[in-house]
Amino acid sequence: MTFSWPWALMSVLVVPLLFAIRWWARRRRRRAAVRVTSIALVRSALPGRTRWTRRIPPALFVAGLAVLAVGAARPQASVPVPQTSATILLALDTSGSMCSTDVDPNRITAAKKAAAEFIESQRGGPRIGLVTFAGTAGLLVPPTDDTDALIEALDDLTVARGTAIGQAMLTSIDAIAEVDPSVAPTGANPRGGGEGYAGAAIVVLTDGANTQGVDPETAAEEAALRRVRVFTIGFGTTDPAPMVCENSQFDGGFGGWGGGFGGGRGRFDGGRNIRLIDEPALKQIARTTGGSYHRAENAGQLQSALDSLPGSFTVVRQQVDTSAAFAAGGAVLITAALSLSLWWNRPRTPAR
């Protein structure tokens, strides 16, 4: 908790001052001796309260003053607030290894389905954009709140050679910069002095390692300078499986590989094992940018990973003034103290 006017906390000194005044008054009080002959008269004059109940009103009154003193300092608390203006860039790997059938029916189909369900779950919320990457990266759909257009675009995904993770991140940054003035595009100097994270994030879903283009760590540093977090997801298993894609899932860049490309071949992209996810690089990207890394070996885990992300970047913490709550609490305590004091000290009818 922070305070806008911390000097106002000095007003809490009124509490020990009241105790000092009470002590001084009691020292000066002179008790008068009264002789009575009736014990019943003495009992009727005594208040019908125990010693500790007599202390309740003063304690409540002092507590009320202390709470009011804290409220006068304008306390502020950090609370989570939904941010519907957030921007999410989904960067989807469309390299040839996404045809692997270790995830039923193959990785690319499972990824499209999970992405579609994620986009549908965010309907009416943050803007979402789509970036696809294989040998190069391209913006498929600029950030938009048109859920139907995003889902329709997923149907046209095709695979190609190569994996350009770093380039996909830079392309995503530029797409964010087009709709968010607080984020500088690549090639421009990012604005400094900002606190926290930008209202935008990048989600990179890949099943492999960067094979060409910009180094992912270099791209991650560019994202970090712009306070854009990158959340990475490593998708797929290390189990041997045929690589099979439908003819409609190829962009024509595979030459004579055809619709059943690979027929179970385990090597691609210049001899690299297509089933090895570069987890150290993906984890480092997340660390550099303040994001997180998630591992998904099947469609269910992929869906869970995507579903867990929105709370990380569509909810921000804001400082909220809570002085009104303290003022109300102090008023309630003081009112209770006065009410109890008046009730317990009301005139009593002597017993007959």
**Is pLDDT of 315 > 60?**
no
Instruction: Examine residue 340 and state whether it is found in any structural domain, yes or no.
Output: yes
Most confident of the following: 12-16, 102-106, 163-167, 331-335: 163-167
pLDDT in tens, 142-162: 999 999 999 999 998 999 999
**One domain for residues 275 and 337:** no
pLDDT in tens, 323-334: 788 788 878 888
**One domain for residues 241 and 329:** no
**Is pLDDT of 274 > 90?**
no
**pLDDT value of residue 316:** 55
pLDDT in tens, 44-73: 555 555 666 667 877 887 787 788 778 777
**One domain for residues 121 and 156:** yes
**One domain for residues 111 and 258:** yes
Give the lowest-confidence range in 2-11, 269-278, 293-302. 269-278
Task: Please state the pTM of the whole predicted model.
Answer: 0.66
**One domain for residues 67 and 100:** no
Q: Any idea what the CATH number is for the domain that residue 270 is in?
A: 3.40.50.410
- For residues 123 and 317, the model is more confident at 123
Mind spelling out the 3-state secondary structure of the chain?
Answer: CEECCHHHHHHHHHHHHHHHHHHHHHHHCCCCCCCCCCHHHHHHHCCCCCHHHHCHHHHHHHHHHHHHHHHHCCEEEEEEEECCCCEEEEEEECEHHHHECCCCCCHHHHHHHHHHHHHHHCCCCCEEEEEEECCCEEEEEEEECCHHHHHHHHCCCCEECCCCHHHHHHHHHHHHHHHCCCCCCCCCCCCCCCCCCCCEEEEEEECCCCCCCCCHHHHHHHHHHCCCEEEEEEECCCCCCCECCCHHHECCCCHHHCCCCCCCCCEECCCEECCCCCHHHHHHHHHHHCCCEEEECCHHHHHHHHHHCHHHHCEEEEEEECHHHHHHHHHHHHHHHHHHHHHHCCCCCCCC
- pLDDT confidence band for 285 (50 / 70 / 90): very high
Instruction: Examine residue 349 and state whether it is found in any structural domain, yes or no.
Output: no
End-to-end Cα distance, the chain: 58
**One domain for residues 328 and 279:** no
**One domain for residues 180 and 149:** yes
Most confident of the following: 11-25, 77-91, 322-336: 322-336
Instruction: Examine residue 32 and state whether it is found in any structural domain, yes or no.
Output: no
Residues 6+ apart with CB under 8 A from 311: none
The residue type found at 309 is: L
> Kindly report the CA angle at 318 between 317 and 319, in degrees rounded to 5?
135
- pLDDT confidence band for 261 (50 / 70 / 90): very low
**pLDDT value of residue 81:** 57
- How many structural domains does the chain have? 2
**One domain for residues 160 and 300:** yes
Q: Residues 93-117: what's their mean pLDDT?
A: 94
**One domain for residues 95 and 49:** no
Average pLDDT, the chain: 80
What is the rounded distance in angstroms from the CA atom of residue 58 to the CA atom of residue 345?
A: 13
Q: Which domain holds residue 247?
A: 84-313
Instruction: Examine residue 350 and state whether it is found in any structural domain, yes or no.
Output: no
**pLDDT value of residue 247:** 78
- pLDDT confidence band for 267 (50 / 70 / 90): very low
**One domain for residues 43 and 186:** no
Instruction: Examine residue 227 and state whether it is found in any structural domain, yes or no.
Output: yes
Instruction: Examine residue 30 and state whether it is found in any structural domain, yes or no.
Output: no
**One domain for residues 101 and 192:** yes
Per-residue tokens: 285: 């990207």
Instruction: Examine residue 234 and state whether it is found in any structural domain, yes or no.
Output: yes
Instruction: Examine residue 58 and state whether it is found in any structural domain, yes or no.
Output: yes
